[in-house]
Amino acid sequence: MQLTPKEQALLAGESGPAAQKAMQILATLGRIFGAQRMIPVRSVQIAGVSYDNLGEAGLAWLSEMAAGGGQVQVFTTLNPAGMDIENYQSLGISEDFAENQRRVLAAFEAMGVVSTCSCTPYLFGNLPHFGEHIAWAESSAVCYANAVLGARTNREGGPSALAAALTGCTPAYGYHLAENRQPTLHIELTANLHDTPDFGALGKTIGDQLQSVTGNKVPYITGMSDASLENLKSLCASLATFGGVALFHIQGITPEAAQYSPPFETFAINQADLDSAKAELTSAEPGQIDFFSLGCPHLCLGEIQRIAHALAGKHVTKEFWITTSRPIKGMADRMGYTAVIEAAGAKFATDTCCVVAPIKGRFKALATDSAKACYYATAKNHFKTRLLSFDDLIAEATR
């Protein structure tokens, strides 16, 4: 692998031990994946922020990198933490956990990482343009950046994303190269999609089909007439969760699709497939639900407006989390949506989400509109789940 003099200097430790360790990680990755060179990145998004996932070992590594003089070289944002940083008490998060989570954030901030704590950084300032090289780790955001925005990123792990941030580069392999962005299989859709759970169910259905596929997985979807930002972020989260997908194309919708024709190998997906995916994500009866959550991926302002309108004058009967980023919450405050939602008894869980917060054992069954949240609620927290449309969820929560 060819390194520039500047990259060689980093590897030799001339900018300190953290930058040296970062370049060692990237050089090793580059060798493993056959990269010829490094490529500069414009931004980084780091996942693995919740202390619930990191533990002491992860925190120790971050602290070591910060103590070793690590400083980000490009704009770098953070995934959700394990708690609402300003309002964790009302979510039932312990002081012990909060203290450890603050240590994690302090280590990132010492390195110059902006503690946005959101999986939708593209909604408020970390918005790559078409063709821009970036190094992002959050799987749903990686999919959104590659597919919807046409930016170029691999699905980084926590350490490789931090390494890219501390050096400003990443090995040029995978989805940074045009040849790996070509579609590999055709998804022929004959179902009508309406709301976010439909798109989540589509992601699960495609993901399940992809289990038997080896090699690069880049679906090319035909038969979809329209998709909103909310729909696409739901699809991205689900495709990444169930199929490990980091890039897809939708004919007539995503920016690179017009460059390609549908591949020969075809999977057909119809309404019955989507219905069965939704049924598989619904293991709880309405009466069993003790936890409602909207906001996986983090909600955009339009979704919060919709929740405020739906909850106005009503009252939720169970714990109900609205998960979003701090900047979007700020706009919700200004527009009065927060006051309406909180008057209905729902809680903002800003900076965090129902998957990365330490809530195992606190609830038995989650209702959500997110296929990804259903998957992790079961896999991580052993909750039963109900996948509901936005409107049905509000109706059940206020019944």
Q: Does 357 bind ligand F3S (CB under 6 A)?
A: no
Give the Cα separation of 207 and 15 in Å (integer): 42
Nearer to ligand F3S, 91 or 257 (CB): 91
How does strand 185-189 pair with strand 135-136?
A: unpaired
| Sign of torsion over alpha carbons 319, 115, 360, 87 | negative
How would you label 170-208 residue by residue, b for 16+ Cβ within 10 Å and e otherwise? Answer: bbbbbbbeeebbebbbbbebebebebbbbbbbbbbbbbe
Which of 345, 343, 347, 340 has the alpha carbon at shortest distance from 324? Answer: 347
Nearer to ligand F3S, 46 or 66 (CB): 46
Q: Does 296 bind ligand F3S (CB under 6 A)?
A: yes
| Region near ligand F3S per CB under 6 A, out of 126-134, 152-160, 327-335, 368-376 | 368-376
Q: Does 155 bind ligand F3S (CB under 6 A)?
A: no
Residue 276 pairs in a beta bridge with none
Q: Which residues contact 101 (CB under 8 A, 6 or more apart)?
A: 50, 51, 81, 82, 83, 85, 88
Q: Which x/- pattern over 39-78 shows residues binding ligand F3S (rule: CB under 6 A)?
A: ----------------------------------------
Output the six-digit token pair for 220. 């090319």
Nearer to ligand F3S, 42 or 380 (CB): 380
Out of 277, 297, 340, 367, point to the residue binding ligand F3S (CB under 6 A).
297
Type and span of the H or E element at 365: strand 365-368
Q: Does 398 bind ligand F3S (CB under 6 A)?
A: no
Nearer to ligand F3S, 149 or 355 (CB): 355
Nearer to ligand F3S, 14 or 86 (CB): 86
Out of 10, 35, 123, 237, point to the residue binding ligand F3S (CB under 6 A).
237
Write the CA distances from 95 to 42, 104, 152, 201, 302, integer angstroms: 37, 14, 40, 37, 33
Smallest gap from Cβ 378 to ligand F3S, in A, equals 13
Nearer to ligand F3S, 73 or 325 (CB): 325
Which of 156, 214, 148 has the alpha carbon at shortest distance from 22? Answer: 156
Out of 1, 27, 119, 269, point to the residue binding ligand F3S (CB under 6 A).
119
The site that binds ligand F3S (CB under 6 A) totals a number of residues, namely: 15
Interface residues with ligand F3S (CB under 6 A)?
Answer: 79-80, 119, 140, 237, 296-298, 323, 353, 355-356, 372-373, 376
